Amino acid sequence: MTQHAKSWTLKPGAMTLADLRAVWAAPAKLILAAEAYPVIEASAAAVQAIVAKGDAAYGINTGFGLLAKTRIPDEKLEQLQRNLILSHSVGTGELLSDAVVRLIMLMKIGSLARGFSGVRPLIVDTLIALYNAGIMPAIPAKGSVGASGDLAPLSHMTLAMLGVGEVRVNGELMPAPEALAQAGIAPVVLAAKEGLALINGTQVSNALTLHGLFMAERLLEAAMVTGALSLDAAKGSDSPFDARVHAVRGQPGQILAAQMYRQLVAHSAIRASHLEGDERVQDPYSLRCQPQVMGACLDLIGNVGRTLLIEANAVTDNPLIFQDGPDGQAEIVSGGNFHAEPVAFAADTLALAIAEIGALAERRIALLIDATLSGLPPFLVRDPGVNSGFMIAHVTAAALASENKSLAHPASVDSLPTSANQEDHVSMATFAGRRLDDMAHNTAVIVGIELLAAAQGIDFHRPLKTSPHLEHVHHQLRQKVPFFDADRFFAPDIEAAKQMVLRGELSSTCKNLFAPLYA
């Protein structure tokens, strides 16, 4: 099966955003810290003691949801758990990507391993074995309302452990029994409580939103680079980035963004060429107010990261097993940690940042193609009229920016009761997180088009050069996309620029400059 070059040890409850970012980016062999096993075993033993005692306990020897009052005989508890998984595997739509599935599995392993869920070590070890073998459960993207846990998608994850359905290995779909057999992994038979523990929880909503977060980080970096490049292409002023301006306002993201812009444009010969004799008093907002807008996005992204990290380390299934009950006995407590409202709010907030990053970039593209504002040839092409240049590339950017406005509508304000009104308020966090991928790709296209437009503007100023940082970015682009000297098939150029944005290439040589984003 899949071999991993790296390995790392998971300490339940102690994951960092850097850990999650690395798992999202590439597979790595996972090892569970040895100290996790005693608490897992104690929690599983507590469940068995409850079963032996015979008292009704939700999720252990009762039905689920509105059927919680239905007592299940001991001899049917294994069937109860298997039926739970089969009946709840009702997802639809495209399959989640391997990057998102890795995050789901990692967070579910970490949650179960904290020892409050009542599962046996076998369950955790089987999930780890699937993860390390590169066996990615086939999880449809749609079918969860983000409360009572991500039941449907997590059920599809659990199917793979049972040897049911399909999985993806090295990007190819194959039957789960075949994949498990090749990896030497035995399908599990679920004991009391284990199916419910596996499918209760916010791991899918959180993984989708983490995916959006990591995409947003790349978009933020790229758009700050293209924004700085547009500033020089339009012969704008760097005076609005003066540290004193931002210090008197005091917004931390704005202060940090202004610092980054100062560094990005430092030592530009284009800027030096118009320090004197420039008749313009102020630049349009899309140039002048970049620290204010991108700084606010930076703050939102940072706040989202903190919320999602807490959730990634959390125990979010139900009911939970606590070892500090009355008389020192284990106690099972039913609560609602599966309600993903914090994740829904985080995803909605992130949607605002992604939309605004694209909206501001679209305005800069509009500025650059307008000769009256930029001083550049109309539509950034020689012989305009015969050539349309960037005219319709801007239309694409405008279309995507407008689409993002609709997608940015908050999902968390919606709720549709389920389970015969037992689950009467839900978070819609799963969709809130899922739509971020579409938004991020839209914004990546917009920023990619700005990269092409700004680089075109820089070329019109030759032989003057922009700053060293931005010259490198310009050079990287020109290795893939030549100067737009006359109309040509434009879509491949836009796709190449978009991929540079998504891969983080625009900031690859100045990572130290952006390091404070991740402090």
Active site residues: 58
- Burial readout 461-485 (b: 16 or more C-beta within 10 A, e: otherwise): beebbbbebbbbbbebbeeebeebe
Distances 59 to 18, 249, 319, 390, 418 between C-alpha atoms, Å? 35, 53, 7, 60, 18
Q: Are 120 and 194 in contact (CB under 8 A)?
A: yes
Which DSSP category does 384 fall into? B
Distances 60 to 264, 403, 416, 431 between C-alpha atoms, Å? 58, 46, 27, 30
Distance in angstroms (rounded) separating the CA atoms of residues 312 and 214: 14
Give me 264's structure tokens: 């990005």
Distances 98 to 17, 127, 300, 322 between C-alpha atoms, Å? 18, 15, 27, 34
Kindly tell me the number of DSSP H helices and DSSP E strands found in the chain.
21, 9
Beta-carbon contacts of 399 under 8 Å, excluding residues fewer than 6 positions away, are: none
Q: Residue 209 carries which side chain, given as an amino acid letter?
A: T
Give me 119's structure tokens: 């599962």
Distance in angstroms (rounded) separating the CA atoms of residues 443 and 350: 13
Q: Is the peptide bond before 319 cis (omega within 30 degrees of 0)?
A: yes
Distance in angstroms (rounded) separating the CA atoms of residues 153 and 89: 7
Q: What share of the chain is helix, strand, coil (3-state, %, to 5)?
A: 60, 5, 35
Give me 471's structure tokens: 């010259």
